[in-house]
Amino acid sequence: MSKFIIILDEYGLLILKGVGVTLLLSIMGTILGLIFALILGSIVSLEDSPFDNKWQKNIKQFLKWGINIYVTIFRGTPMIVQAIIFYYSFLKMGINWSPIIAGLFTVTINTTAYLTEVIRGGIHSVNKDQTEAGLSIGLSRFQTFIYLVLPQALKNAMASIGNELVINIKDTSVLSVIMIMDLYNACMMAAGKYYFFIESMLIAAAIYLFLTMFFTIVLRFIEKKMGAPLKQLSSSN
Protein backbone atom coordinates (compact mmCIF):
# COMPACT_ATOMS: atom_id res chain seq x y z
CA MET A 1 0.00 0.00 0.00
CA SER A 2 2.90 2.36 0.72
CA LYS A 3 3.99 2.13 -2.92
CA PHE A 4 0.59 3.35 -4.11
CA ILE A 5 0.76 6.26 -1.64
CA ILE A 6 4.22 7.24 -2.88
CA ILE A 7 3.07 7.21 -6.53
CA LEU A 8 -0.11 9.19 -5.88
CA ASP A 9 1.64 11.65 -3.58
CA GLU A 10 4.37 12.54 -6.08
CA TYR A 11 2.61 11.92 -9.41
CA GLY A 12 -1.05 12.38 -8.49
CA LEU A 13 -1.34 15.79 -10.16
CA LEU A 14 0.44 14.60 -13.29
CA ILE A 15 -1.82 11.54 -13.46
CA LEU A 16 -4.86 13.79 -13.06
CA LYS A 17 -3.65 15.97 -15.94
CA GLY A 18 -3.09 12.79 -17.93
CA VAL A 19 -6.71 11.81 -17.36
CA GLY A 20 -7.74 15.21 -18.75
CA VAL A 21 -5.60 14.69 -21.87
CA THR A 22 -7.03 11.20 -22.37
CA LEU A 23 -10.60 12.51 -22.12
CA LEU A 24 -9.84 15.46 -24.40
CA LEU A 25 -8.41 13.24 -27.13
CA SER A 26 -11.06 10.54 -26.88
CA ILE A 27 -14.14 12.78 -26.60
CA MET A 28 -13.06 15.41 -29.12
CA GLY A 29 -11.72 12.75 -31.49
CA THR A 30 -15.01 10.86 -31.35
CA ILE A 31 -17.12 14.00 -31.89
CA LEU A 32 -15.03 15.22 -34.83
CA GLY A 33 -14.85 11.70 -36.24
CA LEU A 34 -18.64 11.41 -36.05
CA ILE A 35 -19.10 14.72 -37.88
CA PHE A 36 -16.85 13.63 -40.75
CA ALA A 37 -18.34 10.12 -40.71
CA LEU A 38 -21.83 11.57 -41.19
CA ILE A 39 -20.62 13.19 -44.40
CA LEU A 40 -18.66 10.20 -45.70
CA GLY A 41 -21.26 7.64 -44.62
CA SER A 42 -23.98 9.63 -46.37
CA ILE A 43 -21.93 9.77 -49.58
CA VAL A 44 -21.24 6.03 -49.49
CA SER A 45 -24.97 5.38 -49.05
CA LEU A 46 -25.99 7.51 -52.03
CA GLU A 47 -28.07 5.62 -54.53
CA ASP A 48 -28.20 6.40 -58.23
CA SER A 49 -31.23 8.43 -59.24
CA PRO A 50 -32.97 7.99 -62.58
CA PHE A 51 -32.45 11.74 -63.02
CA ASP A 52 -28.65 11.51 -62.68
CA ASN A 53 -26.63 12.14 -65.81
CA LYS A 54 -23.46 10.24 -66.68
CA TRP A 55 -21.16 12.74 -64.97
CA GLN A 56 -23.14 12.66 -61.74
CA LYS A 57 -23.04 8.86 -61.66
CA ASN A 58 -19.29 8.85 -62.31
CA ILE A 59 -18.65 11.39 -59.54
CA LYS A 60 -20.67 9.30 -57.08
CA GLN A 61 -18.76 6.17 -57.99
CA PHE A 62 -15.41 7.96 -57.71
CA LEU A 63 -16.27 9.36 -54.26
CA LYS A 64 -17.47 5.97 -53.03
CA TRP A 65 -14.32 4.34 -54.36
CA GLY A 66 -12.08 6.89 -52.61
CA ILE A 67 -13.97 6.61 -49.30
CA ASN A 68 -13.85 2.82 -49.37
CA ILE A 69 -10.06 2.90 -49.87
CA TYR A 70 -9.69 5.36 -46.98
CA VAL A 71 -11.86 3.23 -44.68
CA THR A 72 -10.00 0.05 -45.64
CA ILE A 73 -6.58 1.59 -44.96
CA PHE A 74 -7.40 3.15 -41.59
CA ARG A 75 -9.45 0.22 -40.32
CA GLY A 76 -6.68 -2.15 -41.37
CA THR A 77 -3.72 -0.40 -39.72
CA PRO A 78 -3.04 0.18 -36.00
CA MET A 79 -3.51 3.65 -34.53
CA ILE A 80 0.01 3.56 -33.09
CA VAL A 81 1.45 3.17 -36.60
CA GLN A 82 -0.76 5.95 -37.96
CA ALA A 83 0.32 8.29 -35.15
CA ILE A 84 4.02 7.78 -35.84
CA ILE A 85 3.62 8.20 -39.60
CA PHE A 86 1.56 11.39 -39.37
CA TYR A 87 3.51 13.04 -36.55
CA TYR A 88 6.98 12.57 -38.00
CA SER A 89 5.95 13.02 -41.64
CA PHE A 90 4.50 16.45 -40.90
CA LEU A 91 7.60 17.39 -38.90
CA LYS A 92 9.80 16.45 -41.87
CA MET A 93 7.64 18.69 -44.07
CA GLY A 94 8.37 21.62 -41.76
CA ILE A 95 5.00 21.56 -39.96
CA ASN A 96 5.94 21.84 -36.29
CA TRP A 97 2.69 20.72 -34.70
CA SER A 98 2.30 19.71 -31.08
CA PRO A 99 1.88 16.06 -30.06
CA ILE A 100 -1.61 16.87 -28.74
CA ILE A 101 -2.78 18.18 -32.13
CA ALA A 102 -1.11 15.25 -33.88
CA GLY A 103 -2.82 12.85 -31.49
CA LEU A 104 -6.22 14.47 -31.96
CA PHE A 105 -5.74 14.34 -35.73
CA THR A 106 -4.88 10.63 -35.55
CA VAL A 107 -7.83 9.74 -33.31
CA THR A 108 -10.19 11.76 -35.52
CA ILE A 109 -9.25 10.16 -38.83
CA ASN A 110 -9.17 6.71 -37.25
CA THR A 111 -12.60 7.22 -35.68
CA THR A 112 -13.97 8.64 -38.93
CA ALA A 113 -13.00 5.44 -40.74
CA TYR A 114 -14.80 3.22 -38.23
CA LEU A 115 -17.88 5.42 -37.82
CA THR A 116 -18.27 5.83 -41.59
CA GLU A 117 -19.14 2.13 -41.70
CA VAL A 118 -21.37 2.52 -38.65
CA ILE A 119 -23.30 5.39 -40.25
CA ARG A 120 -23.56 3.49 -43.53
CA GLY A 121 -25.00 0.54 -41.64
CA GLY A 122 -27.39 2.84 -39.76
CA ILE A 123 -28.65 4.41 -42.99
CA HIS A 124 -29.19 1.00 -44.59
CA SER A 125 -31.09 -0.12 -41.49
CA VAL A 126 -33.78 2.53 -42.08
CA ASN A 127 -36.76 1.10 -43.93
CA LYS A 128 -37.02 2.39 -47.50
CA ASP A 129 -40.67 3.11 -46.85
CA GLN A 130 -39.48 6.16 -44.91
CA THR A 131 -37.94 7.61 -48.07
CA GLU A 132 -41.06 6.90 -50.08
CA ALA A 133 -43.19 8.51 -47.37
CA GLY A 134 -41.06 11.64 -47.41
CA LEU A 135 -41.21 11.92 -51.20
CA SER A 136 -44.98 11.36 -51.15
CA ILE A 137 -45.56 14.42 -48.93
CA GLY A 138 -43.54 16.65 -51.23
CA LEU A 139 -40.10 16.58 -49.68
CA SER A 140 -37.09 16.48 -51.97
CA ARG A 141 -34.68 13.52 -51.76
CA PHE A 142 -32.22 15.69 -49.87
CA GLN A 143 -34.85 16.89 -47.40
CA THR A 144 -36.12 13.35 -46.91
CA PHE A 145 -32.61 12.15 -46.15
CA ILE A 146 -31.80 15.00 -43.73
CA TYR A 147 -35.11 15.11 -41.85
CA LEU A 148 -36.25 11.49 -41.93
CA VAL A 149 -33.50 9.01 -42.79
CA LEU A 150 -30.42 10.47 -41.09
CA PRO A 151 -32.01 11.04 -37.62
CA GLN A 152 -33.26 7.45 -37.59
CA ALA A 153 -29.87 6.18 -38.78
CA LEU A 154 -28.15 8.02 -35.92
CA LYS A 155 -30.63 6.58 -33.46
CA ASN A 156 -29.96 3.06 -34.74
CA ALA A 157 -26.20 3.62 -34.61
CA MET A 158 -26.05 5.12 -31.10
CA ALA A 159 -24.82 1.93 -29.44
CA SER A 160 -21.92 1.59 -31.89
CA ILE A 161 -21.04 5.29 -31.64
CA GLY A 162 -20.93 5.00 -27.86
CA ASN A 163 -18.84 1.87 -28.16
CA GLU A 164 -16.34 3.79 -30.32
CA LEU A 165 -15.98 6.43 -27.59
CA VAL A 166 -15.24 3.77 -24.97
CA ILE A 167 -12.68 2.16 -27.30
CA ASN A 168 -11.01 5.53 -27.89
CA ILE A 169 -10.63 6.13 -24.15
CA LYS A 170 -8.52 2.97 -23.97
CA ASP A 171 -6.78 3.23 -27.34
CA THR A 172 -5.44 6.75 -26.82
CA SER A 173 -2.83 5.11 -24.58
CA VAL A 174 -0.89 4.18 -27.73
CA LEU A 175 -0.36 7.89 -28.44
CA SER A 176 2.34 7.93 -25.77
CA VAL A 177 4.56 6.86 -28.67
CA ILE A 178 4.51 10.49 -29.89
CA MET A 179 5.25 11.84 -26.39
CA ILE A 180 1.71 12.74 -25.38
CA MET A 181 1.47 12.96 -21.60
CA ASP A 182 -1.81 11.08 -21.23
CA LEU A 183 -2.92 8.82 -18.38
CA TYR A 184 -0.77 5.89 -19.51
CA ASN A 185 2.37 7.97 -20.01
CA ALA A 186 1.94 9.71 -16.66
CA CYS A 187 1.73 6.36 -14.88
CA MET A 188 4.73 5.09 -16.84
CA MET A 189 6.79 8.04 -15.61
CA ALA A 190 6.01 7.07 -12.02
CA ALA A 191 6.84 3.46 -12.79
CA GLY A 192 10.15 4.42 -14.38
CA LYS A 193 11.37 6.43 -11.39
CA TYR A 194 10.67 3.93 -8.64
CA TYR A 195 10.35 0.74 -10.71
CA PHE A 196 6.85 0.33 -9.28
CA PHE A 197 5.56 -0.97 -12.61
CA ILE A 198 2.82 -3.23 -11.27
CA GLU A 199 1.50 -0.63 -8.85
CA SER A 200 1.59 2.15 -11.47
CA MET A 201 -0.22 0.04 -14.04
CA LEU A 202 -2.81 -1.03 -11.47
CA ILE A 203 -3.55 2.66 -10.86
CA ALA A 204 -3.82 3.24 -14.62
CA ALA A 205 -6.05 0.18 -15.04
CA ALA A 206 -8.35 1.29 -12.22
CA ILE A 207 -8.76 4.76 -13.72
CA TYR A 208 -9.35 3.39 -17.25
CA LEU A 209 -11.92 0.96 -15.85
CA PHE A 210 -13.70 3.75 -13.99
CA LEU A 211 -13.79 5.99 -17.07
CA THR A 212 -15.06 3.28 -19.41
CA MET A 213 -17.72 2.13 -16.93
CA PHE A 214 -18.85 5.71 -16.27
CA PHE A 215 -19.23 6.57 -19.96
CA THR A 216 -20.86 3.21 -20.69
CA ILE A 217 -23.53 3.92 -18.05
CA VAL A 218 -24.05 7.48 -19.33
CA LEU A 219 -24.33 6.31 -22.95
CA ARG A 220 -26.76 3.50 -22.06
CA PHE A 221 -28.91 6.09 -20.26
CA ILE A 222 -28.89 8.34 -23.34
CA GLU A 223 -29.75 5.39 -25.60
CA LYS A 224 -32.74 4.48 -23.42
CA LYS A 225 -33.95 8.08 -23.42
CA MET A 226 -33.69 8.14 -27.21
CA GLY A 227 -35.34 4.76 -27.53
CA ALA A 228 -32.30 3.59 -29.46
CA PRO A 229 -31.77 -0.15 -30.01
CA LEU A 230 -29.11 -1.52 -27.66
CA LYS A 231 -27.76 -3.94 -30.25
CA GLN A 232 -24.59 -2.67 -31.92
CA LEU A 233 -24.46 -2.55 -35.68
CA SER A 234 -22.27 -5.21 -37.22
CA SER A 235 -20.06 -2.62 -38.93
CA SER A 236 -18.60 -1.37 -35.63
CA ASN A 237 -14.98 -2.22 -34.82
pLDDT digits (tens, 9 = 90+) for 20-57: 999 999 999 999 999 999 999 999 988 766 667 788 78
Q: Quick check: 234 pLDDT over 80?
A: no
Torsion, CA 91, CA 79, CA 30, CA 14, rounded to 10: -70
Write down how long the chain is. Answer: 237
The pLDDT assigned to 226 comes to 75
Per-residue pLDDT averaged across 162-169, rounded? 94
The pLDDT assigned to 228 comes to 61
CA distance 214 to 207: 10
The reported pTM is: 0.88
Q: Quick check: 123 pLDDT over 70?
A: yes
Say if CB 236 and CB 163 are below 8 A apart: yes
pLDDT band at 124 (very low <50, low <70, confident <90, very high): confident
CA distance 15 to 196: 15
The full DSSP string for 47-107 is ---TT--HHHHHHHHHHHHHHHHHHHHHHSS-HHHHHHHHHHHHHHTT----HHHHHHHHH
CA distance 211 to 165: 11
Q: Quick check: 132 pLDDT over 70?
A: yes
